[in-house]
């Protein structure tokens, strides 16, 4: 195993693995009802929270910010290009001809900052860190006013989230490219307040939480408590998501579910690591960016869902979901080894000053 991976703190990587499992399971079909509400509390917010927790002072300088943005932008542009090729290939298979509208939709997704397929979280994180960096360097009064404005925008946007989804679907179906581009641009901006709130809160409370190292009995007690509270709040709120800006009935409840859900997953990861079972999860979490960016495309090319459905007899149920998760991770393993060995830039590893620094710096 890579020496850098051995030196990483195992708990955050193991926690990212659990969040990654939730993303894969949702895309495999576990996306309705209470399961969706619960998983939305931590599957993407956890990545934003951990990015903020380990960013340190890098956002306070132009040099640090530019390096960070480059490590996000390179995977964003590379995988956006690959996703565009994939979309055009699928469209060609379906119609037998080149689909110009599909190309225009992909370009609209990319240039609006909305993101193609699962690359959306990279564009959201880039914009969040750019805005947050500017906010950190502003005066105290300006920071207070803008913080209040962001919270106000968060509550206002909650009332229009469902309209954005309808607009997106209608403009895409009608091949109305100008309207589709505008919808993508508005949606990319609309999800920014939530991203900033999650990122900002994590940035300021992480140094305090890092000092807390509860013992095994307390960790075992708090883990089901926090995850249980998250589950109950998620059901009451009846909402979630980040990419298409949908928060539920009461926005503040979604923020609470994120807090309890992310802390609960981190505590669960701590238990796994204390039991000396965290190394496989840490490996998956350390490569979560690559898995997140490729797992949906692999569904179009691989037999994972077909094999899982054949073995289980149907495309639903616990057996099908678990098999799909396992087969997807097995498919990802050779891809991880190849990319890390020969194409590290695809995962944000870029040489700066003759030193290669991984995307998820510790």
Q: What is the pLDDT of residues 299-317, one digit of tens each?
A: 566 677 778 888 887 777 8
Tell me, what's the pLDDT at 358?
42
* DSSP-derived 3-state class of residue 278: coil
pLDDT at 339 over 80: yes
Tell me, what's the pLDDT at 107?
95
Residue 251 tokens read as: 């926005």
Tell me, what's the pLDDT at 162?
75
| DSSP letter (8 states) at residue 237 | H
Total domains in the chain come to 1
Taking residues 53-77, report their average pLDDT.
88
Scan for tokens 């991770």, then name that residue.
329
35: exposed, middle or buried (Cβ count in 10 Å: 0-12, 13-18, 19+): middle
Given a contact cutoff of 8 angstroms between Cβ atoms, the answer to whether 290 and 328 are in contact is: no
Is residue 7 very low, low, confident or very high in pLDDT (cuts 50, 70, 90)?
low
Residue 75 included in any domain: yes
Tell me, what's the pLDDT at 359?
41
Residue 320 included in any domain: yes
Residue 284 included in any domain: yes
Number of Cβ within a 10 Å radius of residue 98: 10
Given a contact cutoff of 8 angstroms between Cβ atoms, the answer to whether 53 and 202 are in contact is: yes
Closest alpha carbon to 133 in 60, 49, 209, 198: 60
Residue-averaged pLDDT of the chain: 86
Structural domain harbouring 125: 3-357
Its pTM stands at: 0.89
Is residue 350 very low, low, confident or very high in pLDDT (cuts 50, 70, 90)?
low
Residue 129 tokens read as: 């860190």
Is residue 362 very low, low, confident or very high in pLDDT (cuts 50, 70, 90)?
very low
Scan for tokens 């298979």, then name that residue.
93
Higher pLDDT, residue 315 or 201: 201
Residue 52 included in any domain: yes
The helix (run of H) or strand (run of E) holding residue 356 is strand 355-357
Taking residues 11-19, report their average pLDDT.
94
pLDDT at 353 over 60: no
Taking residues 132-155, report their average pLDDT.
93
Residue 169 tokens read as: 């679907």
Residue 362 included in any domain: no
Tell me, what's the pLDDT at 50?
94
Query: 350 - beta bridge partners?
Result: 357
Tell me, what's the pLDDT at 4?
52
Residue 214 included in any domain: yes
Residue 172 included in any domain: yes
Residue 79 included in any domain: yes
């Amino acid at each position: 195993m890579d020496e850098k991976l051995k030196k990483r703190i195992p708990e955050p990587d193991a926690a990212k693995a659990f969040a990654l499992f939730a993303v894969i399971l949702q895309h495999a079909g576990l996306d309705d009802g209470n399961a969706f509400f619960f998983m939305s509390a931590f599957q993407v917010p956890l990545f934003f929270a951990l990015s903020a927790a380990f960013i340190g002072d890098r956002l306070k300088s132009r040099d640090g910010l530019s390096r960070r943005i480059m490590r996000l932008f390179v995977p964003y542009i590379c995988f956006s290009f690959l996703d565009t090729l994939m979309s055009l290939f699928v469209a060609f298979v379906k119609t037998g001809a080149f689909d110009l509208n599909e190309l225009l939709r992909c370009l609209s997704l990319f240039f609006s900052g909305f993101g193609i397929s699962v690359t959306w979280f990279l564009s959201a994180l880039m914009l969040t860190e750019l805005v947050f960096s500017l906010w950190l360097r502003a005066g105290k009064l300006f920071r207070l006013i803008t913080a209040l404005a962001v919270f106000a925008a968060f509550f206002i946007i909650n009332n229009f989230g469902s309209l954005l989804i309808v607009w997106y679907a209608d403009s895409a179906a009608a091949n109305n490219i100008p309207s589709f581009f505008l919808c993508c641009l508005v949606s990319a901006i609309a999800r920014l307040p939530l991203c900033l709130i999650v990122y900002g809160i994590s940035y300021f409370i992480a140094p305090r939480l890092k000092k807390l190292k509860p013992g095994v009995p307390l960790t075992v007690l708090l883990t089901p408590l926090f995850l249980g509270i998250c589950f109950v709040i998620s059901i009451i709120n009846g909402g979630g998501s980040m990419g298409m800006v949908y928060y539920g009935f009461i926005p503040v409840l979604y923020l609470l579910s994120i807090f309890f859900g992310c802390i609960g997953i981190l505590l669960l990861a701590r238990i796994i690591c204390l039991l000396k079972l965290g190394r496989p999860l840490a490996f998956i979490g350390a490569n979560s960016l690559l898995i997140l960016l490729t797992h949906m495309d692999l569904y179009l090319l691989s037999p994972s869902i077909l094999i899982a459905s054949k073995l289980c007899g149907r495309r639903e149920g616990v057996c099908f979901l678990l098999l799909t998760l396992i087969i997807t991770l097995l498919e990802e393993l050779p891809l991880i080894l190849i990319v890390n060995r020969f194409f590290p830039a695809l995962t944000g590893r870029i040489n700066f000053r003759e030193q290669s620094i991984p995307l998820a710096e510790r």
